[in-house]
Structure formats: C-alpha cells, structure tokens
A and B are shown apart, each in its own frame.
Chain A
Amino acid sequence: MKTFLCELILSCLMAAPGARPVDELTYGTALYAYYQQDYGQALLDVVVAEQRQRLGDDPVRFQLARGSFAFKERLYRMAAESFAAVDASELDALDRRRLAFHLAREHFRSRDWGALDAELAVLDSASGTGPHPEVAFMQAESALARGKFAAAEHALAAVDPEDDHLAYGLFNLGVAYREAGSLAEARGAFARLGGLRVHSEPAWDVVQRGRLALAVTARSSGDPLSAESVLGSLPAQGRYREMALAGFARSAMARRDHELAARIWLTLLEGEGWSPSRAAAHLGLPMSLERLPAPAHALDRYRDAEQAFEGRLASLQQAADRVADPVWVEALLEAFAEAFPEADGDRRRQRLSHLDAGVGPESWLDWLAREDVHRVMIEWRELHYMAGWLRTLPDTLATFQEITGERRRRAARARGALADEALAGRREALAAELAAREAELDSLARQPARMDAAWMQRLADPEENLLLQRLQAMAARVDARASGPERARLAARIRRLTGVVFWRIADDRSVRLRELTRRVQESRRLLADVDARMDRLARAESRFRAGVEADFTTLASRAQAVTEQVATALDVRRREVRLALERSLQEEMARTREHLLTARIAIARATDRLAAAASPEAAP
C-alpha cells in the first residue's frame, strides 16, 4: 500500500534509518572527489575536515587519505610527512596494509627498491585473494630492476589480463629482455602484450607500442615476414601509422622488395610536416630506387633529401635561437597552459604553429612530451595557475573584508540595540517573573490543600477561576442582601458549590503541579535561549575583530610570501624547460646533420656511378 501511495504521489516520507554522522559524510565527500581524480579537491576536503576536527572514530584513515591524496597531487613531501605521522600503534591490520600500499607507491616512485620490497612483503603476507594489480606491477618492476626476469614474469602472471597494469608491466618486461639481448623472450612479452584486450586509451596506446616493438624485434631477429604481419595489425590511422609504415618499408628492403619499399617511402613523404619516420623516408626512398632498374631517379631524390635536411637544419637553428629568448619560452609555456595536450589537439597545434611554423607543431609536441620536460611543464602549469589565483587574491580578500566589515557593523548596531531598546531591562523583568513563579510553585508543592480562594485560584484553570470569582461575588451579594434562614440556605449552597470546585482541584493537584512545573521549565529554557542570543550579540563585534579580521591580515601576509615563492619556482621551471628544449634541439640537429651527411655521400656516390656509366672507358 505504501509503495502504491508513493508511486501515486511520487513522494515518500520514508521511515529511513538515520543519516550517517557528518564525519562519515565528510570522509565520503573526499572519496567522491578522489574517485573522480580530482585529487586537489580530495586533499582540500581532508585538510578542512582535520581543521574542523571532523575525523570521527577513525582518524587514522584521514591521515592515510591525506598522504595518498597528496601523493596523487604530486605533493610528495606532504605525502611522506603524512605517512610518517601515522602512529603505528594506532593501526589495525587493514590500516597497516593501507599504509604499506601507500608507502610502496612512494618507494616505487623514488626507485628505492629495498624499501619497496619491505612494504610489498607486508602486503604479500596479508593478501588472501592474490595481490592488487598495482602491487603485482610494482613487484614485477622491482624484480626487473634487479634483473630477475622469472620473478617479474611470476608477478605479472597474477594480474588480470584486462587490467591496464599488465600492459605496462609486459611492455617494460619486453624492453628489459631486449636490452639484455634475449630477443626471443622479448618477442614473447611483446606478443602477449599485443594480444591484450584493454579498455582504457592509455593502455591501448601501450598495446600498439608493444606491437611496434614486436615488429622491430622480429626484424632484428631476421624474421621480416612476422614483422610485417604484426605491423599489419596496427590501426590504419593514429599516432603509430607513420612508424608502422616505416617499419613495413624497412622489412620490404630487408626482403629485397625494393619496389614495394619505394612505394611505402613515397607514401610517407606525401604527408605534411616533419617526423623521424619521414626523415627516414627521405633517405629510404632513393636507397630503394638505387636498387631498381632505373637508378637515375635516385640521384634526384637524394638531392631532394639534401635540400629537406638543409631546410630542417635551418629551421632547427632558428628554433634554437628562439629558445634562447626567455620571452619566447614564456609564450610557449602560455600556449601550453592555454591548450593543455589532452584538451584540444587542433587548438594546441594552431598555437604552436603560430609560435614557430618552421620546425612544426609535431616536433615541439614531441620535445615537450618527453618525460622530464613534461613533468616540469606540468609543475609550471600548476604554478602558473597558482600565480594567477594569487594575483586575484587581493581583490577577493578586499571583497570578503568588506563583507566582514559590514557584518561587524551590523553586530555593533545589534549590540547598541540591546541598550537602546532596554532589552536587558526587559530580560531582567522576565527573569524576576520566572523567579516569582518558581517560588510560588515551590510554596504550592509544600502547602496542603486548602479550601480558600487564594490557594484554589493558583491551581485553577481559567474556567474554574471564573467560576470561583462568580461564587465569591454571589457570596458577597448574599451577605449584603439576604437575611434569616434564606441567607443561611444560600450561603450553604454557595459553600457546597465552592467545595465541588475545591475537591476537583485537590484531586488533580499533582497533575496541575506537574503542568505548572513544565511551564516553568519551558520558561527557564526560553530565558537561557534569550541569554545566549544576547551574549552572542554582545560579543559578536569583538569576535569579528579578533578572529576574522586578524585571519585576513595573516592570510594577506602569507599570500605575499607564497607569491614570492611561486615566482621563484616559476623561474626555476622556465629555466629547466629552456635547457631541456635546447638539449632536444641539439640532439635533433646532430641527427639531421648525420642524415645530411649521408645524403651528400650518397649524392657523390650516385654521381660518380652515373659519370662512370656515361664515360667512354666504361663502355664495353
């Protein structure tokens, strides 16, 4: 029936269990932000809960959460301090595992393998259902760092095939095998990676990289057909298309199918911009053509390559000159902050092209995406936003100060009203009246029942009081006007009626006393409420001055100190980015010079060959 009514009126007043305590809700709020990867908000929620002492019965989880959220926010020192502050004696088994997990993450980040193993051992010994995928991944990485391939494989075997961590683990395992010269094992790891069915975009990217690595390893192992088969499984479009095409072309050359190789190199050269694969195509195309029956075209293509490399070198030199200019680097960083890589690819390219059309946006993105540069760029972006926020802070503070000032003025007016409207005097009168009632109640409780008007009227309800007054008036009239037996008869009747009222009151005396007591208590509560309000009004102004305004002053001076620290940190990041870009440009210029040299040697060789073919001595 209730369900029916609920559905009918679309509304239910449910007899629900009470809400959770607010401390629980606060913790849940932090988790809500954390699960949406809003780690800054999650951290803020925890810190606010700590400041307000809303930690509930389990404050340790707040400490662990603060450490974990700070870690995710890359505030590593804060994370380490949070974990260090946890009192080990306060931890139960579950907390100990939580702490071990967070510490393991921190040791993994800092590549402290010994400390990592100690925390992983805690997790391993407590695990009843197999390790968490991230734990297994860290176990594998720790093993790889020591060259223990079997242990790494064993750890990865426990990871769910659809979990992203397996993709990352297998890729790193394959790379480690290849670096150790174990090509067959590397191919095994990359092959397993290539067959994974992952669901997230980053993991899918790793799978494609794994397939490319498998193709490269297969070709290195002298198996170009397998390499081509793997490359064929890569998507026709996407960031690895050019690498896959270059891989195909190299495989074709290895199989001496130079015509196919030339066609693939030509396809690569039809694209726009510059990339390592396209640079390889500039040399690969004439190399393939040289081995075809009409090698004369090769010389033209080598000359095209020479021109392309010379142009590229000039663009790189211009870019290097720009990078030396701090103003230009600042503009580059602004473009990065405005069009964050994950946000809008086209906008990002447009902004970068506008800054430097010479080397092309893809090259800039490649250099900026390098792990060390990217880390600094992220830090710079955070600091940049912080600096912007700090710039607007004085205005915000001024607004809040104005609001606070107004509230203080109102508090002062309210305090003045206490005196102006004689509220304090009225409160005193109320208190005196209450005291009188209390005294009366006390005396009524002590006195026995008496059939006199004064006693009865204090306990009578309004109707009874009216009746008693009428009887008193009638008695007075009888005294004044009646006489003889008639007077005695009427007086006796009035006494009888008064007695009826008296017995009614006397019978209910205890109930009436309780009701009076209840009213007095209610009045006492109201008086306490009035006292509390008056006290708040009286002290509000001084509290505003001592509390909120003092806080504003402290905040303003702290904001100034933080602004200076942020400015210094921004300078450091700018310098680091500039140096990293200069390094990248120098490396790219060195590679391009090598390509240019190769092209010029090939031109000389091809020219000699043509000259030899054309000279009379060469004729049979």
Chain B
Amino acid sequence: MAVYLSMDVGEFFQLDSVTVELDGDEVTHHLYTERQVDALLRGGVQRLYLGNVNQGRHRLTAFFTGRGPSERDYRRAATVEFEKTFEPAFIELAIRDSESKYQPEFSAAIGN
C-alpha cells in the first residue's frame, strides 16, 4: 500500500510534521523542511509511506502538527478504514483550507 500527502493553499496551517499509524502502530513520521512544504504548496504530492500490509480490514490514522490560525500550535488527525485486497491500496492524505470556517481541513481517502 502507498500513502500520499497533498496540500492545498496552506493559509490556515503551516505544516511541521506528520505521523502515520496503521492499526495503532506508527509506520512513518516525517518532519518537513521549508522547501518540502513549498513543494507541497506548489502542487507536489509526497509519497509518505510505501509498505506491505496483509489482506483484510485496516485502520490508518495520520496526525498532523504545525501552526494553525493565529500562529497557534495545532494538532489534528484524520482516519480512514479500508479493506486491503489483492490489489494495491492507495490512500491520499490531504490538507486543505476551509474558507468558510477559516480553519484547515484534514482528510484521508482511499484512491483507485
């Protein structure tokens, strides 16, 4: 399975790090440089994790830390449950700005 991270706008959230847990176990942790955050903001997509996972039901949780609105420390999580089959699994973690709420939004979704 592969886990990707994308970011849109980033006005309400400055990303510092991401931790990914699979079924409660940490599988990867990434601390971002300014250049990496810039690459994400310009439309780049980071392949955050690539690994094998048994077939069956799994739960993936990503924890995002950084600076939120008003420069406050910010920590949020997004979770997705998925069924691993023979086919490769792709999961996209996304950080987007919600203009209506003036807050960042974090999501995790299964790709095809």
Contacts and interface: CB of A to CB of B under 8 A. Distances in A.
Interface of A: 6, 10-14, 16-22, 24-25, 27-29, 31-37
Contact of A29 (B44, B79, B80, B105): B44
Contact of A12 (B4, B35, B77, B109): B77
Contacts of B107: 14, 16-17
Contacts of A6: 76
A35 B39 contact: yes
A27 B105 CA distance: 23
Contacts of B108: 14, 16
Contacts, number: 97
A350 to B, nearest CB: 28
B29 interface: no
Contact of A35 (B44, B75, B90): B44
Nearest to B90: A22
Nearest to B96: A16
B110 interface: yes
A21 B111 CA distance: 6
Contacts of A29: 4, 44-47
Nearest to A28: B45
B80 A13 contact: yes
Interface in B70-96: 75-81, 90-92, 94
A502 B80 CA distance: 48
A17 B110 CA distance: 9
17 contacts: A10-B75, A12-B78, A12-B106, A13-B80, A14-B106, A14-B107, A16-B78, A18-B112, A19-B94, A25-B4, A25-B90, A27-B45, A28-B44, A28-B45, A31-B43, A31-B45, A32-B40
A450 B108 CA distance: 55
Contacts of B61: 11
Nearest to B75: A10
A172 B106 CA distance: 48
Given A19-B94, A21-B112, A31-B42, 14 more contacts: A10-B75, A14-B106, A14-B107, A18-B112, A19-B91, A19-B112, A24-B45, A25-B111, A28-B6, A28-B43, A31-B45, A32-B40, A34-B39, A36-B44
Contact of A14 (B39, B40, B78, B92): B78
Given A11-B61, A25-B111, A34 B44 contact: yes
A36 B45 contact: no
Interface string B39-76: 11011111100000000000001010000000000011
A12 B61 CA distance: 9
B35 A20 contact: no
A203 to B, nearest CB: 17
Contacts of B38: 35
A17 B92 CA distance: 10
Interface residues of B, number: 35
A24 B108 CA distance: 16
B36 interface: yes
A34 B39 CA distance: 8
Best-surrounded residue of B45, B80, B108, B109 (most CB of chain A within 10 A): B45
Nearest to B80: A13
A34 B45 CA distance: 11
A13 B79 contact: yes
Given A18-B110, A21-B112, A32 B77 contact: no
Given A10-B77, A12-B77, A22 B111 contact: yes
A18 B79 contact: no
Contacts of A11: 61, 77-79
A59 to B, nearest CB: 18
Contacts of B91: 19
Nearest to A38: B39
A79 B4 CA distance: 28
Contacts of A17: 107, 109
Given A12-B76, A14-B78, A22 B45 contact: no
B111 A20 contact: yes
Given A16-B107, A17-B109, A32 B44 contact: yes
B16 to A, nearest CB: 16
B9 to A, nearest CB: 15
Interface in B1-57: 2, 4, 6, 35-36, 38-40, 42-47
Nearest to A17: B109
A505 B36 CA distance: 67
A10 B77 CA distance: 6
A409 to B, nearest CB: 20
Contact of A36 (B39, B75, B77, B109): B39
Contact of A32 (B2, B46, B111, B112): B46
B22 to A, nearest CB: 14
A490 to B, nearest CB: 54
A22 B112 contact: yes
A21 B112 CA distance: 6
B36 A25 contact: no
A37 B77 CA distance: 30
Nearest to A18: B109
A500 to B, nearest CB: 43
A22 B110 CA distance: 10
Contacts of A25: 4, 6, 45, 47, 90, 92, 111
A202 to B, nearest CB: 16
A33 B35 CA distance: 10
Contacts of B92: 19-20, 25
A18 B80 CA distance: 11
Contacts of A22: 2, 90, 111-112
A28 B4 contact: yes
Contacts of A24: 45
Best-surrounded residue of B2, B44, B79, B106 (most CB of chain A within 10 A): B44
